Amino acid sequence: MARPPVPRQLLRRQLFESSPCGPLGYRARGIGRRRYATKSDEERPDFKGQLYQSTNERVERDRVDQARFAQIREAQKAARGSPGWMVPFVLAVGIAGGWYLGSGQNAQSDDSSTTPLSQTIPPQHNASPANLQAAWADFKAIVGEENISTQEDNLKQHSGSEWSSYPTLPSDKPFAIINPESTEQVSEIMKVCHRRRIPVTGYSGGTSLEGHFAATRGGICIDFSRMDKILTLHQDDLDVVVQPAVGWEMLNEDLGEHGLFFPPDPGPGAMIGGMVGTGCSGTNAYRYGTMKDYVLSLTVVLADGTIVKTKQRPRKSSAGYDLTRTFVGSEGTLGLVTEATLKVIPKPQNTSVAVCTFQNVRDAANCVFRVVGAGVPIAAIEILDDVQMKCINDVGTTSRTWKETPTLFFKFNGTPTSVKEHISLVQGLAKKSGSKSFEFARSQEEADELWSARKEALWSVMAKKKDPSDHVWTTDVAVPISRLPDIIEQTKDDISNSGLMGSIVGHVGDGNFHAIILYNDKEHDLADSVVHRMVKRAIEMEGTATGEHGVGLVKRDYLPHEIGEPAVDLMRKLKQAFDPLCLLNCDKIVRVQRPKPGEVQEW
């Protein structure tokens, strides 16, 4: 006797449930469970559970819509029993209403691939005291009252810093600082903010320089300081899973005990969350690459609270869009990073440092061009000009007195034999470039002493401030290496002619350098014009407005000149796709509404 046919949907479900990949297979074999180390195994849901939760919430919304449509159908059925004139009347009203709504929808539909600034609608947030006070109760239930701060000093600290080039406005403060301890809590916080249309700014180390964490729309600040754990080290696979408030210095201390090394090394105090956000680099970038080269995978909370994992742990993958790279450099505008899987490498066997001086900054830059062109595998090449060396001597925080002339600092990694060979090659190239002296370390203590001047650059200029109205503007650009001598010399002359005190320092091995300018409140516009010309000069040399600091608020209006209006419009479209309500770090990277008259400098 033939079996009755099995409905297709029932058959598909039976096959799934009986397969090794079905739900029974997962439960029986424990396959596919990804857990977070922020809670115990009994407390924390697995990663798929979080995804299923997000999916169930969407399904529930669909059920509500279906119920609404069912009511409409019932009303239509009831209309059939009404007097004869009622049915044509209802149909006529329905057709007219549908035509009106449809035509309006077509007129307002956005089927373009980009979003020009002229077509944007300003974000509609709700940062009213009543809404924020009501949300406070929700946040308290999620993280506990002790992990919410509204103290004025704390709010001010989380809106700007004394080393930022963006002058924080009094209104650039959040309503509250919230300190979650897990991905799940961040997700719940974002669900509240999405429902109530509350803007959000992320915060980890607070070392960024371009106004990245200024709360331009108020709202709340999510401080990740409690999420500071190294979750898992896969020593054999050379990767490590960390939370966003892990500092790169602390990470390297821990990795060093296992003979491993994480190369990106921006300013002291920087943390992984901000390093991912800005796509930072540091002194080791010439040899080892930048932050984007070391992020294998990210766990991200999106604007509506959805939790996304961008990839697994392999070193390579061609599985779809590269979501990981999309979030690196996004400065918290597309999502909040709550975990990062980072690539690490074996710790170098030997490290040494060499220092050579030059008569002028052009000769020093020419030496860099020669060394890079010769292909010498140097770990780092740093330049400090005469002004910078004088600042270091004046502050006296290093153990020696330096020659106050343009100076190159070289770092070498490798075996003792290879390091010795590379030092000899660089010494010869430096001599051909006009070096006045060449000194290399013969021990680790001497290497630390020679490199100490490089680490004191920013702080030594900041120490020159004499008045509360004095400020330091730290900015960076990058150009093709062949144009480096030109732009460094021209920028140095421009700073000198302005009458301001400013130094040149940077990771010149990859064409990236910084200007550190001291100015007071009355000189802000003067400093701004010097920086503007520096950035304009770099872009006209086919360079970039920022090599590693990021865009933030200060550099966003240079992007159209660097990459073109269509590319910026595409970025804006991407922002709208990930964050339709513009809740996450609004106003950073790309403008979301038109600037006021005179707000943007003329090119």
Helix/strand/coil (H/E/C) assignment for every residue in 6-50: CCHHHHHHHHHHHCCCCHHHHHHHCCCCCCCCCCCCCCCCCHHHH
pLDDT score of 61: 60
Q: Calculate what percentage of the chain has a pLDDT beyond 90.
A: 72
Q: What is the mean pLDDT of residues 339-367?
A: 94
User: pLDDT digits over 261-289, tens only?
Assistant: 999 999 889 999 999 999 999 999 999 99
| Contact indicator for 138, 182 with CB cutoff of 8 Å | no
Cα 266 from chain centroid?
13
Q: Tell me which H or E stretch contains 70.
A: helix 47-80
pLDDT score of 76: 55
Residue 366 pLDDT exceeds 60:
yes
Which of 63-67, 180-184, 282-286, 335-339 is the least confident region?
63-67
pLDDT score of 506: 87
Helix axes 361-374, 416-432, angle to 10 degrees: 130
Q: What is the mean pLDDT of residues 21-42?
A: 41
Q: What is the mean pLDDT of residues 363-374?
A: 93
Residue 28 pLDDT exceeds 90:
no
pLDDT score of 103: 47
Q: Tell me which H or E stretch contains 536.
A: helix 524-540
Name the DSSP letter for residue 271.
B
pLDDT score of 93: 53
Task: Give dist(CA 352, CA 444) in Å, integer.
Answer: 7
| Contact indicator for 280, 329 with CB cutoff of 8 Å | no
Pairing of strands 220-223, 176-178: parallel
Read off the amino acid at residue 143: V
Cα 48 from chain centroid?
26
Read off the amino acid at residue 476: D
Q: Which CATH number fits domain 116-347+561-603: 3.30.565.10, 2.40.50.180, 3.30.465.10, 3.40.640.10?
A: 3.30.465.10
Residue 11 pLDDT exceeds 50:
no
Residues whose CB falls within 8 Å of the CB of residue 178, separated by 6 or more in sequence, listed in order: 139, 143, 147, 148, 189, 220, 221, 222, 223
CB atoms within 10 A of CB 549: 26
Which of 71-75, 221-225, 577-581 is the least confident region?
71-75
Read off the amino acid at residue 88: P
Reported residue count of the chain is 603
| Contact indicator for 453, 392 with CB cutoff of 8 Å | yes
User: For all residues of the chain together, what is the average pLDDT?
Assistant: 87
Q: Which residues are registered as beta bridge partners of 471? A: 519
Cα 175 from chain centroid?
23
Enumerate the H helices of 304-344 as residue ranges. 323-327
pLDDT score of 573: 97
Alpha carbon distances (Å) from 573 to 119, 184, 579: 11, 28, 10
| Contact indicator for 7, 22 with CB cutoff of 8 Å | no
Residues whose CB falls within 8 Å of the CB of residue 189, separated by 6 or more in sequence, listed in order: 139, 142, 143, 178, 180, 200, 220, 222, 305
User: pLDDT digits over 506-565, tens only?
Assistant: 888 899 999 999 999 999 999 999 999 999 999 999 999 999 999 999 999 999 999 999
Tokens at 568, concatenated: 């910026």
pLDDT score of 84: 56
CATH homologous superfamily for the domain 350-540: FAD-linked oxidases, C-terminal domain (3.40.462.10)
The helix, strand and coil proportions of the chain, stated in percent and rounded to the nearest 5, come to 45, 15, 40
Residue with the larger pLDDT of the pair 387 and 506: 387
Task: Give dist(CA 448, CA 444) in Å, integer.
Answer: 6
Torsion of CA 274, 276, 280, 284, to 10 degrees: 110
pLDDT score of 402: 94
Task: Give dist(CA 176, CA 261) in Å, integer.
Answer: 37
Residue with the larger pLDDT of the pair 54 and 417: 417
Enumerate the H helices of 172-270 as residue ranges. 183-196, 248-256
Task: Give dist(CA 311, CA 318) in Å, integer.
Answer: 10
CB atoms within 10 A of CB 305: 20
Residues whose CB falls within 8 Å of the CB of residue 582, separated by 6 or more in sequence, listed in order: 123, 125, 199, 575, 576, 592
pLDDT score of 85: 55
Name the pLDDT band for 17 (thresholds 50, 70, 90). Answer: very low
Residues whose CB falls within 8 Å of the CB of residue 560, separated by 6 or more in sequence, listed in order: 568
Residue 21 pLDDT exceeds 50:
no
Q: How far apart are the first and last CA of the chain?
A: 84
Helix axes 47-80, 183-196, angle to 10 degrees: 30
Q: What is the mean pLDDT of residues 418-442?
A: 94
Q: Which of 491, 475, 479, 486 is CA-nearest to residue 562?
A: 479
Q: Which of 314, 298, 337 is CA-nearest to residue 234?
A: 314
Q: What is the mean pLDDT of residues 148-152?
A: 95
pLDDT score of 111: 87
Residues whose CB falls within 8 Å of the CB of residue 434, separated by 6 or more in sequence, listed in order: 358, 359, 363, 366, 367
Alpha carbon distances (Å) from 212 to 332, 520, 559: 9, 22, 16
